[in-house]
Amino acid sequence: MVSINENRGVSDIPKWAISRSMKLASLPLGVAGRGAIGIGKRIGGRPAEIVATELQQRTAEQLFKVLGELKGGAMKFGQALSVFEAALPEDLAAPYRAALTKLQDAAPPMPASAVHEVLAEGLGSDWRERFTEWNDKPAAAASIGQVHRARWHDGREVAVKLQYPGAGPALIADLNQLARFARMFAVINPGLDVKPLLKELRERVKEELDYGLEAQAQIAYAAAYDADPDFIVPKIVDHSGNVLVSEWVDGTPMSAIIRDGSPQDRNRVGLLFARFLLSGPSRCGLLHADPHPGNYRLADDGRLVVLDYGAVNRLPGGFPPAIGPLGRLALEGRAEEVLDGLRAEGFVPEGVDVDAQAILDYVRPMIEPVAADHFHFTRNWLRREAARVADPRSPAAQLGRKLNLPPEYLLMHRVGAGSIGVLCQLGADIPYGAEVRRWIPGLAG
């Protein structure tokens, strides 16, 4: 994302990019410096556990500060990581949440001249005639663009999403540089492997930069969920080039509900959030693939407003047919059949020898929310589960390293893991299992 202030134009992007690279490059240098200090402290007699905790905390503070100051790929990466913050220790998660809030709320806007240029390129030189009211001040900012609230020529309030000039190259450059620093994230969370996440983000960037593809996905969702009692999908009004116009819908941001919402609102949002993600593949052949809280609002009438359709997983046949039967076998404790099914789908590589009961023991805790009639998603539960599969000394972690994630499941896995993280942020207590069985064929038998 290219953020341009009043004294810097599009022609200054190369200088701006060098500045961003220097900030990102400061991350591993800071870790190395703190590591050297830590070694010195240990030699001086300080307990290794205390030194490691200090290193972890200071590294987290620097990471969140730098990601909070930058946008583009850094912001996109921060958003992707944000859904996993519930699995982090609270002393690390707290500064992360604060940095992400600042990142969302304090993005420098494009100058009016740049805004007008993007509008003219997308809607034509007579773009002002499309609106009866226009405000050059953006209402919101995102990783690759900003949103303006305006009034369309037919009287409708609309959200006008504009892509920043140079957003594509900046996004790719950030993600490439962050990939080179992936090992530093092990200092903060030893069980978090960010390389696959960054690889997948790079693969999705091209789709997210294409507002035509985003419009197609939003149109499909809006048709499938039209007049739905639970959801509001804003309808597309117009789109061309790097301009996307859709209906404006108000609501309380999910982030505000996570921060200080009532238990009733937390549960309501959590249930609808899960229902929307689970129902998409069967209702319109799409899976909303960007489950961070910034894309969701709770409308005054109790419906969930879902925004931003730049990242979707196209599943024209719905969820893969093996998911439901495999889940049912695991819930029923049929270890050998679970192993056979995982082998058939490519989760257990050919030639890898694993114990069927060990595989079942590995996956059963992960589907605990599905087995229960009602499940209370909590940060403590997620931290325990994350520690179980992340501690390199644990049998679960050792087994996990032998398993594979087939490419066709990669995005679904990220959405599933991310959505669980959001539900734990909400502290939702909901009939999750019934919702999963409702939307995934073959799970209920």
Residues with catalytic function: 290
Query: What letter would DSSP give residue 6?
Result: T
- Give the separation between CA 358 and CA 409, rounded to whole angstroms: 22
196: which residues sit within 8 A by CB, 6+ positions away? 405, 410
Take residue 222 and report the two structure tokens written for it.
Answer: 């809006």
For the chain, state the CA radius of gyration. 23
The kind and range of the H/E element at 424 are helix 407-426
Cα dihedral 113→118→119→123 (10° resolution): 150
Instruction: Return the residue matching tokens 């439901």.
Output: 324
Residue type, 192: L
Residues 418 and 410: beta-carbon distance below 8 Å:
no
Taking the C-alpha atoms of residue 3 and residue 74, their distance in angstroms, rounded to an integer, is 13
Instruction: Show the beta-strand stretches assigned E in 50-113.
Output: none
Within 13 Å of residue 401, how many CA atoms lie on the same side as its CB? Answer: 11
Distance of CA 11 to the CA centre of its chain: 31
Q: How far apart are the first and last CA of the chain?
A: 47
